[in-house]
Amino acid sequence: MKGKAIIGILMAAIMVLSVLAVAMPMAVATSDGTNFNTIAGSAIQKVLICQNLQFEGYGGYVTVSRIVSGDVENVYQTDVQNRLYNVNWPTIGAFYVNYDPALKLGAARISVEKPDIPLKLKVGTKEVASIAEGTPLKVYTGGINLYDNDRVDLVIIGPDGRIKTDTTNNQYFTDISVRELKGYDDKLITNGWSIGDYTFRVKSKPANACGLDASSDVRQLKILKGEISIDAEQTSIIELDTVAVTVKGVAGDIIEVKATPCTGATFKDGIEDTPTGAGCEFTQDIDSDGVRKYAIEFSDTGTYTLRATVEGGPRAGDYDTVDITVSEKGVWFDLPSAVVIGEKLDIKGIANTGTYVDVFVDDILYARLHDLVIEADGTFSKEILTTDVDMTVPGLVTLKAWLDCAKRPGESPPTTSADGSAAILVLKTHLDATISNTTVAPGDSFEVFGNASSDYVEIVLLSPDGGNGTGMDGLYGTTIYTVPTFCNSTNSYNYYKKLKVDSDADNGNYTIIVLNPGRDNTYGDSEYRYIDSILDLDGDGPEPGVTDVSNKTQEEIATIISDIIFATGSDDFMVIGNIVVA
Nearest residue to 495 (alpha-carbon basis) of 465, 461, 462, 450: 450
Element (H, E) at 10: helix 2-23
Lowest mean pLDDT across 82-91, 99-108, 129-138: 129-138
Of 138, 153, 173, give the one whose Cα is nearest residue 214.
153
Which among 177, 37, 60 is positioned nearest to 112, based on CA atoms?
Answer: 37
Label residue 395 by pLDDT band (50, 70, 90): confident
**HEC profile for 85-102?**
CCCCCCCCCEEEECCECC
What does the radius of gyration of the chain's CA atoms come to, in whole angstroms?
Answer: 46
What confidence tier does 321 reach under pLDDT thresholds 50, 70, 90?
Answer: very high
What digits encode the pLDDT tens for the residues 323-339?
999 998 899 999 988 88
Confidence of residue 517 (pLDDT cuts 50, 70, 90): confident
DSSP states along 102-141? TTTB-SEEEEEE------EEEETTEE-SEEETT--BEEE-
Task: Kindly report, residue by residue over 526-572, the tens digit of the pLDDT.
Answer: 888 888 888 888 877 656 568 889 899 999 999 999 988 888 777 78
Q: Are 200 and 155 in contact (CB under 8 A)?
A: yes
Q: In 3-state terms, what secondary structure has residue 532?
A: helix
| Pairwise CA distance, residues 250 & 273, whole Å | 16
pLDDT tens for residues 43-90?
A: 899 999 999 999 999 988 999 999 999 999 999 999 999 999 999 999
- Give pLDDT tens digits for 404-457: 999 999 999 999 889 999 999 887 767 889 999 999 999 999 999 998 877 889
In terms of pLDDT, which residue wins out, 125 or 143?
143
Q: How far apart are CA 180 and CA 173, in angstroms?
A: 9
Residue of 215, 214, 216, 217 whose CA lies nearest to 51: 214
What per-residue confidence (pLDDT) applies to 24?
Answer: 41
* Spatial separation of the C-alpha atoms in residues 350 and 419, rounded to whole Å: 11
Contact in structure between 238 and 328 (CB atoms under 8 Å): yes
pLDDT category at 140 given cuts 50, 70, 90 is: very high
For the stretch 335-378, pLDDT in tens is 988 887 877 899 999 998 889 999 999 999 999 999 999 999 99
Q: Which of 279, 293, 306, 207 is nearest to 248 (CA)?
A: 293
Residue 566: predicted pLDDT: 84
Using alpha carbons, list the distances in angstroms from residue 532 to 41, 229, 328, 478, 535: 105, 74, 53, 10, 5
Per the CATH hierarchy, to which homologous superfamily does domain 229-327 belong?
Immunoglobulins (2.60.40.10)
For residue 511, list its beta bridge partners: 462, 578
pLDDT surpassing 80 at residue 508: yes
Hey, what's the torsion of the CAs at 37, 38, 39, 43, to 10 degrees? -100
CA distance 305 to 407: 33
**pTM (2 decimals)?**
0.48
Q: How far apart are CA 162 and CA 174, in angstroms?
A: 11
User: 16: pLDDT confidence band, cut at 50, 70 and 90?
Assistant: very low
Could you read off the pLDDT of 145-183 as tens digits, one per residue? 999 999 999 999 999 999 999 999 999 999 999 999 999
The arithmetic mean of pLDDT across residues 7-25, rounded, is 40
The pLDDT assigned to 573 comes to: 86
Mean pLDDT across the stretch 101-113? 93
- Tell whether domain 120-224 is in CATH 2.60.40: yes
CATH homologous superfamily of 331-427 = Immunoglobulins (2.60.40.10)
Give me the residues paired with residue 327 across strands. Answer: 238
Please return the burial class of 466, using the count of CB atoms within 10 Å of its CB with bins 0-12, 13-18 and 19+. Answer: buried
Q: What is the pLDDT of residue 251?
A: 77
The per-residue pLDDT for 490 is: 54
* Rounded CA separation 326/328 (Å): 7
Would you place residue 14 in the very low, low, confident or very high pLDDT band (cuts 50, 70, 90)? very low
Does residue 314 have a cis peptide bond before it, meaning omega lies within 30 degrees of 0? no
* Domain locations along the chain: 19-113, 120-224, 229-327, 331-427, 431-581
CA 453/CA 429 separation, integer angstroms: 5
12 has a pLDDT exceeding 60: no
pLDDT digits (tens, 9 = 90+) for 225-284: 778 999 999 999 988 889 999 998 887 789 999 999 999 999 999 999 999 999 999 999
pLDDT at 2: 42
pLDDT of residue 545: 61
